[in-house]
Structure 1
Amino acid sequence: MGLAESQDRYAGSPRGRPRSEAVERSIIEGVMRLLEEGLPLGEVSIERVARTAGVGKATIYRRWSGKDALFVDVLRAAEPPDAELPGTSMREDLIVILEQMRRRGLASRNSLILHNVYAQMKSSPKVWDAYHATVIEPRRLVAFEVLRRGQRNGELREDIDIELLNDMFVGPMLVRAILRPDAELPENLAERIVDALLAGLSHAKP
């Protein structure tokens, strides 16, 4: 989902209003500047964003329904963009999905904005709920479909719970990227995780 699409889902105004990508970008960069200056997420108000970006509050509300929706797009802009899945095999798609998680983990370690916002989201339920509904859950659904397609194509056993299986794939990467910030995230980590699990989950060979 692109920036404009994400904003359209949460904008409070009717569809069809002319939009300025430059204005939207200046608003998002205004929020990033405030966060870089160390302002806590809870203190970033629409009024303050408007002053920083040099726009009126109405300009922001025409594009976002409120602060929570704006923060979600700020996070999306700061994170590495989601890659398009090759669709050639379940294995290749899973590797791409986990590789994106690895890159987001690296970005969080190297980006003060991402690190601070991820940490502060835990105490901002509305922001977390909006981020989960618009970013995390769609990614989960994509992974579910990849696994279901693998079952239909015979790449994966059909007696395995898809939700549990998805957790088994993403769990090791989440542990390395989030729970163990000192752990290495080598370039081949996604491939190693996928191949290790598929070795025991694919159809048994005669």
Structure 2
Amino acid sequence: MRLADSRDRQGCPGRGRPRSEAVERAIVEGVMKLLEDGVPLADISIERLARTAGVGKATIYRRWSGKEELFVDVLRGAEPADPELPGVSMRDDLVALLESLRRRGLVSRSSAILHNVYAQMKSSPKLWAAYDATVIAPRRQLGFDVLRRGQENGELRDDIDIELLNDMFVGPMLVRSVMRPDTELPEGLAEQIVDTLLEGLRPDRP
């Protein structure tokens, strides 16, 4: 799990005791155990988590500022890693982004815990805001960057609203992943969505 990124930005790397991967793993596994036992996110306090993981509260707070940040780290670790973009063309980068969404959809469908947690997050504005700021917003920005490069490179018409266009690309995958869980997410779906939309979005060639 990628647990160090957000925490490393908070403190001074040279201070304090070395962070133990075993301790961090025990804390993360403690969260997952409570979720597997059916404990709602709202009922998982730092005190309860510390008892479950067999650590002190201070140990947790040295690594995370609060439970919202911890939960976001746990969820990110349970999801597929963010994609590395090929960087060859706008089309290939878009396919990589949508393929990442497809894989996330498959993971959330197969994990009852993740499905339940995502549903609970919507009723916790603070937790959802933390997830949006650290996970969703950076992914959206990545899509904006790909589309802007496409306009600059002449792969995409320059009269199109980038934010609207990004929603048009990711929308079909999100609809199938979230709103229509009975719909298949087959291999090749990312390519199909991107190529269908790009047919009408490329600049006219003389």
The 3-state SS of whatever aligns with 1:201 is coil
Aligned partners of 1:130 and 1:93: how far apart in 2? 26
Q: Give, as a single letter, the amino acid of the residue that structure 1 aligns with 2:156.
A: L
Residue 85 (structure 2) aligns with: 85
The 3-state SS of whatever aligns with 2:39 is coil
Aligned partners of 2:103 and 2:142: how far apart in 1? 18
Residue 32 (structure 1) aligns with: 32
Superposition deviation, residue 59 in structure 1 = 0.3
Paired residue total: 204
Residue 43 (structure 2) aligns with: 43
Q: Deviations over 1:49-102 (max 9, x none)?
A: 111111111000000000111110011011111121111111111101011111
Superposition deviation, residue 7 in structure 1 = 2.3
Aligned partners of 1:161 and 1:2: how far apart in 2? 33
Aligned partners of 2:31 and 2:138: how far apart in 1? 24
Stretches of structure 1 lacking an aligned partner (at least 5 in a row): none
Q: Is the 8 A contact 2:2 2:77 kept in 1?
A: no
Q: Is the 8 A contact 1:87 1:93 kept in 2?
A: yes
Does residue 192 (structure 1) correspond to residue 192 (structure 2)? The answer is yes
Q: Is the 8 A contact 1:7 1:73 kept in 2?
A: no
Aligned partners of 1:6 and 1:102: how far apart in 2? 25
Residue 76 (structure 1) aligns with: 76
Residue 181 (structure 1) aligns with: 181
Taking the TM superposition and a 5 Å limit, the aligned residue runs for 1:46-195 are 46-195=46-195
Aligned partners of 2:149 and 2:25: how far apart in 1? 37
Superposition deviation, residue 2 in structure 1 = 4.0
Aligned partners of 1:91 and 1:2: how far apart in 2? 28
Superposition deviation, residue 14 in structure 1 = 4.2
Q: Give, as a single letter, the amino acid of the residue that structure 2 aligns with 1:156.
A: L
Aligned partners of 2:114 and 2:88: how far apart in 1? 32
Q: Is the 8 A contact 1:27 1:53 kept in 2?
A: yes
TM-score (norm 2): 0.95
Q: Is the 8 A contact 2:150 2:156 kept in 1?
A: yes
Q: Deviations over 1:155-190 (max 9, x none)?
A: 101111100000000000010000111111001111
TM-score (norm 1): 0.95
Aligned partners of 2:113 and 2:22: how far apart in 1? 21
Moved over 3 A (4+): none
Q: Is the 8 A contact 1:28 1:74 kept in 2?
A: yes
The alignment yields a C-alpha RMSD, in angstroms, of 1.4
Q: Is the 8 A contact 1:150 1:156 kept in 2?
A: yes
Q: Give, as a single letter, the amino acid of the residue that structure 2 aligns with 1:43.
A: D
Q: Give, as a single letter, the amino acid of the residue that structure 2 aligns with 1:165.
A: L
Identical residues among aligned pairs (%)? 74
Aligned partners of 1:2 and 1:203: how far apart in 2? 40
Stretches of structure 2 lacking an aligned partner (at least 5 in a row): none
Q: Give, as a single letter, the amino acid of the residue that structure 2 aligns with 1:181.
A: P
The 3-state SS of whatever aligns with 1:183 is coil
